[in-house]
Amino acid sequence: MAQKGFYFDMTSCTGCKCCQVACKDVNDLPVGRFYREARDYEGGKFPHMWAATVSMGCNHCDNPACVERCPTGALSKDADTGLVIQDHDKCIGCRMCLMSCPYGAPSYDETEGRMGKCDGCSEKFLSHGLQPACVGACSTRALQFGDIDELRREHPDAVSDLNVLPSSSITKPNYLTTPKEDMR
């Protein structure tokens, strides 16, 4: 299996949130629901202030707590891509995946009473040889999707831990980022 994942270059992100908007559009998500969020952070003390945007969705982890805790087997890792895929029909909306995910990635659909999450645009785009919507929409090409080992080789200085995120040791996310200095 060639595990897929995301790379995000924080140093070239302008915070335009096109990734977030494209994801909402393609998944038809209403106000307040996200499968990918571009979250803004700021800190420091005058005159040494910093601000940064972190774009993140599901990280298709190596040890996905959501898969482990799902009581109906609605979530599983795809054998070919390692993406964490949801069988919508098996979901009972108990929210165990959301409660167990350190990144808060799954999203509850109040209307349907079920969960939804990023599947890397598996059916919508990947199956047609295209990139996920968020990657295609990024105006500065700050987001990349692909074989995580190749992304690691391409960006040897990229990390999976930031001072605003839970430790990557919990679920081993397939998420790499080149952080701004203050976010390390």
Q: Which of 29, 65, 94, 158 binds ligand SF4 (CB under 6 A)?
A: 65
DSSP code at position 182: G
Nearer to ligand SF4, 106 or 179 (CB): 106
Bridge partners, residue 42, by sequence: 51
User: Please, what's the largest Cα pairwise distance for the chain?
Assistant: 53
Q: Which C-beta is closer to ligand SF4: that of 16 or that of 122?
A: 122
Closer residue to ligand SF4 in complex, CB, 20/59: 59
Q: x-or-dash pattern for ligand SF4, window 8-47, by CB under 6 A?
A: ----------------------------------------
Question: Residue 47: is the preceding peptide bond cis (ω within 30°)?
Answer: yes
Distance CA 123, CA 126 (A): 6
Contact between 70 and ligand SF4 by CB under 6 A: the answer reads: no
Question: For residues 84-143, which are near ligand SF4 according to CB under 6 A?
Answer: 84, 97, 101, 103, 105-106, 117
Residue among 36 and 60 whose Cβ is closer to ligand SF4: 60
- The position carrying tokens 């629901």 is 33
Identify the residue among 171, 176, 177, 183 touching ligand SF4 (CB under 6 A): 171
Window of 10-18, 37-45, 59-67, 176-184 that interacts with ligand SF4 by CB under 6 A:
59-67
Sign of CA dihedral 19, 167, 165, 118: positive
**CA separation for the pair 83, 58 (Å, rounded):** 9
How many Cα atoms occupy the beta-carbon half-sphere of 124 within 13 Å? Answer: 15
Q: Is the dihedral of CA 158, 159, 160, 161 positive or negative?
A: negative
State the residues that interact with ligand SF4 by CB under 6 A.
58-61, 64-66, 84, 97, 101, 103, 105-106, 117, 171, 173
